[in-house]
Amino acid sequence: MRAIAALLLLSACATTQAPPAERLRGCWIERSNVGGAVTMRWLPDASGELRGDLLRYSTSGASGRERYVLRNRDGADVLCQIGDTETCWAVAQGAGGSLEGGRAFIDQFGGDRIRISVIDDSGQRLIFQGNRDGCD
C-alpha cells in the first residue's frame, strides 16, 4: 500500500501540467528492440471528445487494438477504455484525491514523451508510454 501511495504522489506531481486533452492530442509511438511497436492516436471526434486508438504491431503485423476516450463528466476529466463494456477512471489532477474507483495518470515529459497509466483495486497498469510521432 505504501508503494501505491508513493507512486500516487510521484505521479500526481507530474500530472500538474497542461489539461489532459492538450497532453494527449496527436500521435505517439513506442518502438521495441525486438521489432515491434505500439502506436496511439488521440484525435477529436465529431462530438469533440478525444478518441484514443492503441495498436500493437509485431513482426507479423497488427496484433492487438484497444480503444479509449477522454471525456468531461460533471467538470472533471475521465479516461474510459471502450470494449464490450466501458471502464472509466477519473484523471488525476494535482496531489489530492482518493484512489476509490481508480485514477488515470497522463504524464507528459518535455512535450515529446507521454505515459498513460491507471491505478485501481487491481494495482497499477501501464496503458501506453512513448514518444510523439507524426500523424499520417
Q: pTM of the full predicted structure?
A: 0.80
Domain positions in the chain are 2-133
Q: What pLDDT does residue 99 have?
A: 67
Q: Encode pLDDT of 12-44 as tens digits.
A: 444 446 889 999 999 999 987 777 899 999 999
Question: Higher model confidence: residue 33 or residue 8?
Answer: 33
CB 11 within 8 A of CB 5: no
Asked whether the predicted pLDDT for residue 116 surpasses 60, the reply is yes
What CA–CA distances, in Å, run from 110 to 39, 63, 66, 131? 19, 30, 26, 10
Count of other CB atoms within 10 angstroms of residue 95: 13
Q: Encode pLDDT of 65-114 as tens digits.
A: 999 999 998 888 999 999 999 999 999 976 666 667 789 999 998 889 99
The pair phi, psi for residue 5, each rounded to 5°, is: -65, -40
In CATH, what is the architecture of 2-133?
Beta Barrel (2.40)
Q: What pLDDT does residue 59 have?
A: 74
